[in-house]
Amino acid sequence: MKIIVCIKQVPDPQASSTGTTVDSEAKKVIMPQGTPPVMNPYDENALEAALKIKDLQGATVTVISAGKNLAKPVLRKAIASGADDLILLDDPAFDKLDSYATAHLLAAAIQQVGEYDLILCGRQAADTDAGQVGSGIAEILKLPGVTAACKVEPVDGKLAIERVVSDGIEEVEAPIPAVITVSSEIGELRYPGVKEIMAAQRVPITVRKAQDLEIDISQLKKPSLVNLAAPLGRTAECQYIECETPEEAGTDLAIKVRKAQLL
């Protein structure tokens, strides 16, 4: 089975809890200093979905990532975890692409790869939170698309999929080939061992530029970002309950909360 996984490089979303700032002038979100680039968490889940299939029935897994000045060591981790090939679409023209351009760019790269049975993407990116590229690739390549999958299994020449919906799980069947976006419930990406990390260093990475793809990115722009602002955060003055023991704190919390008529 030939599987393609699309992975986006993003600033580590875990870093954002310690406070980001918004530069409205430049329309940029400034992450805390030292925030490393990582593989988008949902895309890691997509890679894990591919590797689970590879474990069970064998597959070649090709990872594609698009951006500007991509961090090779970060994306090479995909190979260390078990992917076979890595294609980087790295060009200044690929900086901060919107979902429309990204979907067209990745679709063009996928068409260059030529053969595939399954295309996997994360359900949304941790920076833009747009949630559209997977569906876009499906539409552009005229393939069926299934979103928010928590299980993907090739069975009898078809794909048996479970997907997360607001009130439960749906069991869906899709033909091969198809595009599936993956949710975190599918499982965390496995940690590579030292041997795998070392072996991954020797795997050649393919780098493609805009001209290699015969795609005019400048023509592919749909939404315009007209404003970026800080959110109206929630602030509160926390009343801390401090007691000798945690049990006493629990009791006291109940009394105070009841007194404040919260419960």
**What is the spatial distance between Cα 134 and Cα 106, in angstroms, rounded to a whole number?**
10
Stretch that binds other proteins, among 48-56, 65-73, 108-116, 126-134 (CB under 8 A): 126-134
Of 51, 89, 118, 148, the residue at the interface with other proteins (CB under 8 A) is 148
Locate 113 and state its tokens: 């790869």
Q: Which is nearer to other proteins, 28 or 209 (CB)?
A: 28
Verify binding: residue 99, other proteins, rule CB under 8 A.
yes
Burial class (CB in 10 A: 0-12, 13-18, 19+), 70: buried
Q: Which is nearer to other proteins, 139 or 212 (CB)?
A: 139
Burial class (CB in 10 A: 0-12, 13-18, 19+), 185: middle
Minimum separation from the CB atom of position 150 to other proteins (A): 7
Which of 141, 144, 117 minimizes the C-alpha distance to 59? 117
List Cβ neighbours of 92 (8 Å cut-off, separation of 6 or more).
68
Stretch that binds other proteins, among 86-94, 128-136, 198-206, 209-217 (CB under 8 A): 128-136
Of 5, 6, 86, 103, the residue at the interface with other proteins (CB under 8 A) is 103
**What is the spatial distance between Cα 68 and Cα 142, in angstroms, rounded to a whole number?**
28
| String marking each residue 152-191 x if it binds other proteins according to CB under 8 A | ------------xxxxxxxxxxxx--x----xxx-xx---
Which residue type does 174 have?
A: A
Chain positions 196 to 225 lying near other proteins, rule: CB under 8 A, are 222-225
| String marking each residue 21-60 x if it binds other proteins according to CB under 8 A | -x------x-------------------------------
Minimum separation from the CB atom of position 115 to other proteins (A): 20
Contact 60, 113 (CB under 8 A): no
Minimum separation from the CB atom of position 176 to other proteins (A): 11
State the number of CA atoms in the 13 A half-sphere of 163 facing the CB: 18
